[in-house]
Amino acid sequence: MTILLSTLNARYTHASLGLRYLLANMGELREQTRIQEFVIGAKTTELVERILAHEPTIVGFGVYIWNVEETTKLVATLKQVAPHLVIVLGGPEISHETNGQQIVQLADYAVTGWGDVTFPKLCADILHGPKPLMKVHAGVQPPMADIALPYALYSDDDIAHRTLYVEASRGCPFKCEFCLSALDKTAWPFDIDAFLAEMESLHARGARLFKFVDRTFNLNIKTSLKIMQFFLDKLAANPDDPVYAHFELVPDHLPDALKEGIAKFPPGALQFEIGIQSFNPVVQANISRKQDNDKAAANIRWLCDHSNVHMHVDLIAGLPGETVESFAAGFDKLWALGPHEIQFGILKRLRGTPIIRHTQAFGLVFDPHPPYTILANRDIPFPAMQRLVRFARYWDVVANSGRFTHVTPVLLGEQPFANFMAFSDWLYANTDATHRIALDRLAALVGKYLQQQGMPGVAALLARDGHGVKQKASHAGQVAAPQRQARHLAA
C-alpha cells in the first residue's frame, strides 16, 4: 500500500462517504490505496502507530469542523515521528481561509473543494513527478458523469452496522449565509438511473438504512418521485423487510405529486430533516434566505396530519437580527405545528461562509475554536446566549430524547419557550451540569420541578414515560449521584 485515506469520524456508526469517493476515483492508483477510519476521542499516539503500521508514502486526511483539533494533533505527531511521510489534507474545514490554519502549515499539501480529480493527480505527481511546487491545490470540479460512484466500497460490515450516506446530487441553489452551500452556484445531479442502480446493489447486499446528504432532496420533483418509488417498490415487495430513508427537504416546496408519494409510506420508513432556521422575515432577509413561511408552516402541518414521516425541524439561535423574543415566537409557532423533534441549533461560523459580513453591523462574536459557536451579538449578550445553549442541550435530553413524551407537553404548557427556559434555568441551578445527567436523576429532577410548579399527576405522567420506579426512588431520597460534565460534539 502506498496511499492511506483516513479521517476521524464523530462516531463509529458514521462511515465516511468522502473517503470512499476518493478511493473510487483513484484510477491507476486505486490498487495502491486503502481506507482506515478512526473515531474522535482516540489516543493520538495509538492512531499514529496504526497509521504507520501500513508503511504508507502518502496519507490523506479528511478534515471537518468536528475533527480538526484532533487531526491537527495527529498530523503534528506524525510529522515528529515520521517526517518523511507526505500528508495531504482535504475537506470543508481546510477549503477556506486555508493558509492561516496550523494544520495546513504542518501538512505538505492541501486540496480545497472537490477532490475527486485533483487528489489522485496530486498523488501521482508526488509519487512519479514532477514534484508539485504549490502547497494548496484548488479542486477541479469534473462533469458529474465523470465521477465514479463509491457505493460498492461500503463493506459488508458497513452495511450491517453503520449508517450508509448516499447522495443523488451535490450542491445547493440557495444562498443561506450560515451554510457552506451558499458558495455553490447550483445543485448538480448525478445520473438518476446510474444512482438507483447503485442503490439496488446496496439493497441486494442487505442495506436497509439510507441517509441522503443532498441539501435539497425535493428540488427536482421528478427525481424525488423516482427515488421514493424505489423505496416504495422495496417495501411492497417485502413488507416484513423494512427499509428506512432520511432526506433533507426544502420546507416550502411540497407539490401535490410529492405529497401523494409521501402518503404511501408506512410508519418507520421515512425521516425528513426540514430547515426552518427562523420564522422572522427580517432575519431571513439578513441571511439571504428565501422562504415562504406560510407555505412552510402549512407543509409541516400537512406532514404531521397526513403522513407517517418522522420529522426533525431545525431552528438556529444567534442569527443576525434575531432577538431572544423573536426566536421564542418562532419556537412556539413551530412547536404548535407538531413536528416530532425540534432541532435547536446555535449559530456557528463555518469557514468561508458569508455570515461573517454581518460581524460589525450586528456585533457577532464567535468562539475562535471549533466548532466556532456564536458567543454573543448585538441583540443577545453572552449571558443570554449561554442560557440558549443550555436550553438547547436540555431540550435534546428531555424533549427530543423520546423518554418524556407524556411529560413534555405538560412541562411546556401554553408558553413552550418561556416555560422550558424557566425549567432550563432551574435545572442548571440545581445541577451545575449540562451533560451526563443520569436518566434516573433527570427523571427525578423533572418530577421535582413540576411538583414545585403545582402540576397535578406528575408521578403518573412519569410512570407513563417509564420512569415510575425512578420517581418513587427519588421521593425516598435515593437520587443518583451527579456525574462530571462531559462534552461531545457530533457530526
Model pLDDT for residues 370-403, shown as the tens digit of each residue: 999 999 999 999 999 999 999 999 999 999 999 9
More confident residue, 381 or 173: 381
Is residue 490 over pLDDT 90?
no
Is residue 15 over pLDDT 60?
yes
Other CB atoms closer than 10 Å to residue 419's CB: what's the count? Answer: 16
Identify the DSSP state of 191: P
Residues 46 and 36: their CA atoms lie apart, in Å, by: 13
Cβ–Cβ < 8 Å for 24, 153: yes
pLDDT of residue 475: 30
pLDDT of residue 1: 76
Cβ–Cβ < 8 Å for 384, 324: yes
Q: What is the mean pLDDT of residues 182-193?
A: 92
Residues 207 and 368: their CA atoms lie apart, in Å, by: 40
Residues 6 or more apart whose Cβ sits within 8 Å of residue 414: none
Q: What is the mean pLDDT of residues 164-188?
A: 93
Q: What is the radius of gyration, based on Cα positions, of the chain?
A: 24
Which grid coordinates belong to 191? Answer: 445520473
Which residues face 59 on adjacent strands?
A: 4, 87
Q: Is 156 helix (H, G, I), strand (E, B) or coil?
A: helix
What angle, rounded to 10 degrees, do the helices at 44-52 and 68-81 form? 60
Q: What is the mean pLDDT of residues 438-448?
A: 96
Cβ–Cβ < 8 Å for 176, 131: no
Helices (H) then strands (E): counts for the chain: 19, 16
Which residues face 345 on adjacent strands?
A: 316
The residue among 453, 447, 452 whose CA lies nearest residue 471 is 447
Which grid coordinates belong to 273? Answer: 430533516
Q: What is the mean pLDDT of the chain?
A: 93
Q: Is 310 helix (H, G, I), strand (E, B) or coil?
A: strand
pLDDT of residue 474: 31
pLDDT of residue 484: 24
Model pLDDT for residues 407-435, shown as the tens digit of each residue: 999 999 999 999 999 999 999 999 999 99
Is residue 7 over pLDDT 90?
yes
Is residue 312 over pLDDT 80?
yes
Which structural domains are found in the chain, ordered by start? Answer: 3-144 (3.40.50.280), 149-358 (3.80.30.20), 381-491 (no CATH)
Is residue 326 over pLDDT 80?
yes
**Residue 239, CB half-sphere, CA atoms under 13 Å: how many?**
5
Confidence class for position 185, pLDDT limits 50, 70, 90: confident
Sign of CA dihedral 291, 296, 297, 300: negative
Model pLDDT for residues 56-99, shown as the tens digit of each residue: 999 999 999 999 999 999 999 999 999 999 999 999 999 999 99
- Phi/psi region, residue 27 (left: phi>0; alpha: psi -120 to 50; beta: rest), is left
Cβ–Cβ < 8 Å for 223, 257: no
Which grid coordinates belong to 489? Answer: 460534539
Residues in the chain: 491
Dump the DSSP string for 248-259. Answer: EE-TT---HHHH
Is residue 30 over pLDDT 70?
yes
With a pLDDT cut of 70, the percent of the chain lying above it is 95
Which residues face 242 on adjacent strands?
A: none
Cα-to-chain-centroid distance, residue 443 = 28
Which grid coordinates belong to 331? Answer: 419556537
